[in-house]
Structure formats: structure tokens, C-alpha cells
Amino acid sequence: MSTGPQSTHNADDAFIRRLPKVELHLHIEGTLEPEMMFDLADRNRVELSYPSVEAIRAAYDFEDLQSFLDLYYQGMAVLRTERDFEELTRAYLRRCAAENIVHTEMFFDPQAHTERGIPLETVIDGVLAGMAGGEGDFGVTSALILCFLRHLSEDSARNTLAQARPYLDRLAGVGLDSAEAGNPPEKFTHVFREARELGLPVVAHAGEEGPADYIWQALEGLQVRRIDHGVRCTEDDRLVEYLAAHRIPLTVCPLSNIKLRVFDRLADHNLASLLERGLCVTVNSDDPAYFGGYLEENLIAVRDALGLSRAQIVQLALNAVEASFMSDDRKAELTGQIREQA
């Protein structure tokens, strides 16, 4: 039997595959694979500007966050009915089960749907039905985080929060996403205060294309529980020290960062250095249908590019459990399962 590099590589792949995993930065609309996009377009009689699945995949050559978002929002046009959102969610949770992702906390963008005439209840009821089916059929637990689109106004966000009030007991929190440039977290101070007063934990995208100061704004102005992305924290040593000292989680998305030119190469990514500096960093897939990799592929890619050890992979998995909104009992259970694999 071979005991060379290829054998070790395969064994490490298998180790990552069987390790219980938690995903905390996943946009459910970003799991819309081209094949499903075409199927839903046909079912809902939506005309796409791409003639084939191959043409869509060829379009996934983004120059920046905005060029990705332009295609992302166009793809959403095929999502029309509760059944569409249920099938989208179940498809992702089926993928989770195949990768031994045991829990996921998913973002969704209600304004991207309500602005095109889709009722909020259609979106939420469909996703919740998919989540229930995913837990029943695949054993994957999930939670739902409502995100405000930062390129829209705070008034639009407040209106969305008001519309979502009947569903508050089924939401795990509130977040902030979309284009960072020119849309600082402080723009949403009032609506995030309202969300906190309603008892919702809050998170925010910051420090991806936006500067380190946006992370400070999210922490101090929005009082977030975790930072989504956050990789530009290294521009400010005091911020890195604060994040480490207070165990503020960063939900890092390596393959997304490369696709959107945050880093030129995965070998340049600062994930390993953040881990070494004691930050509570986690690995996630962001919008995997668009960025070429689900969670397992992200972990394998950073292991290869950054030379991560098994102990570091285990630490990333443990960090994700710690950073999640799961109950303390479930966290203790998963922590034990991960340590058993180590």
C-alpha cells in the first residue's frame, strides 16, 4: 500500500469529509446552481439572457463584488413561488448532508425578492418548509438570518423588519450584506437597534471590500455578535487584538475572496495568520454556486494553499461551533464529536 504524498492527501481529504462541520456564512440564493436556474426559468416562464448552462458558468468571471451582484440578482428572477424557495433550500441541505455539515445558519435577502413583487411570506414560508424537510430527511439543522441590502436605504430596511415581525420567532438573527463600497455599517444604526430591541442577534458583512473601519462601525455602532468576512482587519493591529481578545467570530469565505479579487491567490490569503493570532476564524462558502466551491472544497483548498495542519482544521471546525447561535447543549455535543475525530 502506498504511503506517499498522494496517500496522505487522500487521507486528509477523508478526514475533512468525515469531520462534523458547521457553516455560518451562506446565502441561500447563492446556492442556485445553473441547472436549477434553467429548470425554474422553464417552469416559471422566465426568459434568461443566457442560452445554456455553459453560458452561465462562463459568465462567472467576476471583476469585483458589484459585477458578481449584477449576475446574482439577475439569477434570482427565476425564484417566484414558495415551492421554488423550498426546493432551493432542500437542495442545499441535501448537499450539506453529503459533506457532513450538521448545522448551517443561512442568510436570505428579502428585499431582493419583495422589490420584484414577490411577497415576503412566499420567500420565508418556502425557505422554512425547505429547512423542515432538510432536517427531517437529512438530519441537518439550520437557522435563518434576514439580511438587509446595504445599497438600499435604511427606511427600506426598517420596512422589511416591520414586514418580518410575524416571523421573528423563526429568525435566528438579522444581518447586512450587498455592496460595501459607499455603504458603511453606520448607515443602518437605527434599524439594527430596533432588531436588537426585538431580541434578535445581529451580524454584518464588513471588511471584505470595505476598510477595517467598517468592522469597527459594525462592532461599535451595530453591536454585532460576529463579523461576516472581516479579512481586512489586518489593516489595523488594534482591531486584530480586539477581535482576538473578545473572541469576535469572523466568518471567512476563502474561495469567494479569490473570485472577487480580495486576494490575488489563495496562497496570499491571511486565514492562517488570523488563526495563528488567536482569532475565532471560521471557513464558509458564501455563494457556492457562483464561487466554485462548497464548504468541503473551501477547506481542502485552504489546507493545500496555506499548508494547514489537521489540528488547524479541527480548530476551524471548533470555532464554527463556538460562533454559532446553537444552544449550549448542542454546542457541547458537537464539540465532543469534533474532538473525537481529532
Q: Could you tell me how far CA 92 lies from the centroid of its own chain?
A: 12
Element (H or E) spanning 227, and its range? strand 226-229
Write the DSSP string, 55-120.
Answer: HHHHH---SSHHHHHHHHHHHGGG--SHHHHHHHHHHHHHHHHHTTEEEEEEEE-HHHHHTTT--H
Spatial distance between the Cα atoms of 272 and 41, rounded to a whole number of angstroms: 41
Question: Which segments of 110-250 does DSSP mark as H helices, in order?
Answer: 110-114, 120-138, 154-163, 189-197, 212-220, 237-245
Select from 213, 209, 323 the least CA-distant residue to 256: 209
C-alpha dihedral sign at 223, 285, 317, 89: positive
In the beta sheet, which residues pair with residue 174? 146, 202
Residues 82, 208, 209, 296: which is the catalytic one? 208
Expressed in percent and rounded to 5, the helix, strand and coil fractions of the chain are 60, 15, 30
Fill in the DSSP letter of residue 8: H
Per DSSP, the three-state class of 190 is helix
Catalytic, 208? Answer: yes
- Alpha-carbon dihedral 133, 137, 139, 140, rounded to 10 degrees: -40
Element (H or E) spanning 309, and its range? none
Helix, strand counts (H, E) of the chain: 17, 8
Which positions are catalytic? 208
